[in-house]
Amino acid sequence: MPQDGLIGFDAVLAIARRGSFRAAALELGLSTTALSNVIAKLERKLGIRLFNRTTRSVSLTDAGRKFVDQVGPAVKTIHDAMDIARSQQEMPSGTLRINAFATAAREVLGPLLLQFLRRYPEVHIDLVTEGRIVDIVAEGFDLGLRSADLVPSDMIAIPVGPPRRFAVVASPAYFKTNGKPFVPPDLLHHACLRIRLPNGAIHRWRFEKDGQVAQIDVQGPMTLDEASLARIAVLNDAGIGYFMESDVRADIEAGCLVRVLEDWTPPLAPLCLYYPSRRNPSAAFKALIGMARQIAG
């Protein structure tokens, strides 16, 4: 949550950046009602309307646009000064905001983030998971977590987490009734759980072996956009699923799911914690980076 002295300015800038009261409220850690009250109070104080609001959209008024253009750089300067002051702390504290894919967050939550919080209980981690790739600087995040091949070239990246692979799995009961696929095209004759990407497109399952690449547009009874839902469906004999190995490793080891096409799922690019170059990082930021480097070896 922003500091009380800057909350009005931070609120205006967040809404202007996000284009939505709801999204800005989530970013700032406020309820939408509280955010609306903050904006209303600031508008009364200024004597102008900053936003045109309808039930479907939010946009800056001309006065609001001029206000944002003038206030934005000043607020950034103040936040930078506060970050410099915090960097003098010896004991890590405060909030670190991290943006990540949900699967990536699940992979590093236990080995990195929870270990970090146990070591530094005065630190709060605000972890935001979403499928889209965001500009972590523009969106106000301290760090991002993505696979190495998706990290912007101007960022500093630290590999974290174990080796990663996809896993194609189904329940023993499904395979007993329907048989197993032995090469990727066999999937076209099976019930598969389809995956919808954040942009709405259907994900083609990708395979590779001995330099041969195959992308299969599978068919099946359900289309899902959340791995936890797909896992439930597969565990209940609904068909074959395509997961990050880490999401179903325990199920495979317990015999609840059976893996196929393993020789067609080679290692993927490692996960990376990434961030822009920072002149005066906070003690909490430095501590998390230090722990990530230790894990990376």
In this prediction, residue 38 carries a pLDDT of: 92
Name the 3-class secondary structure at 250: helix
In this prediction, residue 226 carries a pLDDT of: 85
Residue among 172, 195, 181 at smallest CA distance from 243: 195
Under 8 Å between Cβ of 140 and 95 = no
* Domain 166-264 fold: D-Maltodextrin-Binding Protein; domain 2 (3.40.190)
Q: How many helices (H) and strands (E) does the chain have?
A: 10, 14
Residue among 276, 279, 239, 270 at smallest CA distance from 257: 239
In this prediction, residue 224 carries a pLDDT of: 92
* Domain 94-162+270-296 fold: D-Maltodextrin-Binding Protein; domain 2 (3.40.190)
In this prediction, residue 252 carries a pLDDT of: 97
In this prediction, residue 139 carries a pLDDT of: 85
The CATH class for the domain spanning 4-86 reads mainly alpha
Under 8 Å between Cβ of 165 and 266 = yes
Under 8 Å between Cβ of 32 and 94 = no
DSSP string of the chain, one letter each residue = ---GGGHHHHHHHHHHHHS-HHHHHHHHT--HHHHHHHHHHHHHHHTS--EEE-SS-EEE-HHHHHHHHHHHHHHHHHHHHHHHHHTT-SS--EEEEEEE-HHHHHHHIIIIIIHHHHH-TTEEEEEEE-SS---TTTTT-SEEEEEGGGS-TTSEEEEESS---EEEEE-HHHHHHH---SSGGGGGGS-BEEEB-TTSPBPPEEEEETTEEEEE----SEEES-HHHHHHHHHTTS-BEEEEHHHHHHHHHTTSSEEE-GGG-PPPPPEEEEE---SS--HHHHHHHHHHHHHH-
Kindly state the tokens that stand for 62.
């001309």
Q: What is the mean pLDDT of each run of 10 residues along the chain (297 residues)?
A: 71 91 87 91 92 85 92 87 71 90 87 93 92 85 91 91 90 97 96 88 92 93 90 96 93 97 93 85 90 80
In this prediction, residue 1 carries a pLDDT of: 43
Which residue type sits at 286? K
In this prediction, residue 199 carries a pLDDT of: 78
What's the alpha-carbon Rg for the chain, to the nearest Å? 23
Residue among 284, 276, 283, 244 at smallest CA distance from 161: 244
In this prediction, residue 283 carries a pLDDT of: 87
Under 8 Å between Cβ of 129 and 141 = no
**Same fold across 4-86 and 94-162+270-296:** no
Which residue type sits at 116? F
In this prediction, residue 133 carries a pLDDT of: 84
Domain residue spans in the chain? 4-86, 94-162+270-296, 166-264
